[in-house]
Structure 1
Amino acid sequence: MTQTKNKVSCIIAAYNEGPRIGAVLDAISNNSLIDEIIVVNDGSKDNTQAVVEQYSKIQLISHSENKGKTFAVMTGLSQAKSNIILLLDADLVDLNNRDIENLIRPVFSGQVNASMSICRNSLLPYKMLGIDFASGQRVFHKKIIPDLEVLSHLPKYGLEVFINSIIIKNNLKLKIVNWNTVVAIRKSQKVGWWYGTLGEIKMTFQVVATIPLPKLLFQIGYLKSLSVK
């Protein structure tokens, strides 16, 4: 697929995010830095698809069954026409144009090769370290993942640490962007404490399945060393 330089494709993977995704789409749909928005409806059983269909400029791709975030993002990447990729979660609260531009511009301008956010409600250890290694809000050049097929072999929640490993392997400059007002909704707030906690535990195990804990700790430290102010 022909790439267009200096343009941004935003990819959002969504599963049962009908009550929340509209606010995210409202925040980004008129952003002048974003040329293309792709939402991958990953087998949602609620009204996610109906909500997205209200936005005429957004490309909607629907999976017939839930395949997990990593596969959904892979689907979006396969259709993205731009050379710069913006990944966003579908459940962000209080997202605005300033936050988006602060995340995109360091990569768009060439200051760094990748960026990631740290949200207002990121876990305390992440805030103390000044980096959320599992952040779903990222900007990077599409070319850093030349073979999208490799994503199909990752666990459902292995995408972020995989991208981290690429950043480290290639010593890519990284910008950590503080989103002081943006909140990422916890699973427990969506499906209740019990199922939400089980979901968080499952996600943690899948992250560890992607990268052993000692290497994960090394990854966090190395990412910090690559970050620029």
Structure 2
Amino acid sequence: MTATSSAYGSPFISCIICAYNEAPRIGQVLAVAATHAALGEVIVVDDGSTDGTVDIVRQFPSVRLIARGTNGGKSAAMVDGIAAARGDLLMLLDADLKGLATEHISALAAPVITGRADVSISLRQNSLAIFRAIGLDFVSGERVVKKALLNEALAQIRTLPRFGIEVFMNRLIIDRRLRIAVTHWPHVTQARKTEKLGYWRGVRAEWRMISDLLRVVYPFALISQTVRLSRLRIDHGRVSFATRMKGVPETPQ
């Protein structure tokens, strides 16, 4: 196996999962990602967790663990994962997904593997209602992108706020006019911060995240960014990983 192709002859995909205190949830994600044929490697960047996240990750011997000594935020953790990845393609997954299954990873990878799109972005069941209405979650943490897109910007990513990576990535996508495929995940949800931390601590954490987004782009720019991303969206067929190997698309979505 090389860093450009998997055992199945498709592009080598490095899956990066950044985690902070996700012990109750990350095992469910790794149980799917660590065994998926489309993923050449799975890398977990533990961002200074104080719970048993690292212990859970170590239960999956095939997963590469990068343990950061202190919590620096998702943007900084992502830099470590990107730098360590060997693949030409990156699949970015959040560690707190619920309901993730093999077919979801296949669907997220397929548009980019087949060359139908340059970027693939998930639309989860519990994405905000406005995102579901327009058919695009511009802050989704589940994506497939070319490593080169982010690798050349690592120095800039290091300077981002803790949760500014997705909005920064959107800017790169827009500047290069990359084709976007939105992959619908109707049975996948993401654990809310209020669920993890309790109501008031969760609300404060949500506001800190929003503040980080606004430090990367201004409020009006967020609206503009969403519109410009929507214009780059393409229609694409739903292609499973198995049928991708045969080159036969399934029923269009």
TM-score category, normalised to shorter length? over 0.9
Specify whether residues 90 and 103 from structure 1 end up closer, same or farther in structure 2 by C-alpha distance, changes over 3 A only: same
Aligned match for 1:102, one of 107, 115, 122? 107
Partner residue in 2 for 1:31: 36
Kept in 1: contact 2:118–2:178 (CA 8 A): yes
> Larger Rg: 1 or 2?
2
Aligned to 2:243: none
Tell me the amino acid that sits aligned with residue 214 of structure 1: F
Structure 1: which 4+ aligned runs deviate by more than 3 Å? none
If the length of structure 2 is used for normalisation, what is the TM-score? Answer: 0.89
Identity %: 37
Q: What is the number of equivalent residue pairs in this alignment? A: 228
Deviations for 1:151-171, whole angstroms, at most 9, x for unmatched residues?
111111000001100110000
- Aligned pairs for 1:88-99 (under 5 A) are 88-99=93-104
Residue 59 (structure 2) aligned to one of 42, 54, 57: 54
**Aligned partner (choices 15, 19, 26) of residue 20 of structure 2:** 15
Q: CA RMSD in A?
A: 1.0
- After TM superposition, the structure 1 = structure 2 runs for residues 1-229 of structure 1, keeping only pairs within 5 Å, are 4=4, 6-145=11-150, 146-229=152-235
Gaps of 5+ in 2: 6-10, 236-253
Output the CA distance in 2 between the equivalents of 1:38 and 1:19: 18
Structure 1 position 3, deviation (Å): 5.1
**Distance (whole Å) between structure 1 residues aligned to residue 117 and residue 148 of structure 2:** 14
Cα distance in 2 for partners of 1:73, 1:108 equals 22
CA distance in 2 between counterparts of 1:147 and 1:166 reads 9
Letter in 1 for 2:49: S
Q: 2:108 and 2:230 mapped to 1: Cα distance?
A: 17
**Unaligned ranges ≥5, structure 1:** none
How many angstroms apart in 2 are the aligned matches of 1:11 and 1:81? 11
The one-letter code of the counterpart of 2:174 is I
3-state SS of the aligned residue for 1:118? strand
Deviation at 1:148, TM superposition (A): 1.2
Q: Quick check: which one's strand share is greater? A: 1
Relative to the length of structure 1, the TM-score reads 0.98
Question: Counterpart amino acid of 2:111?
Answer: P
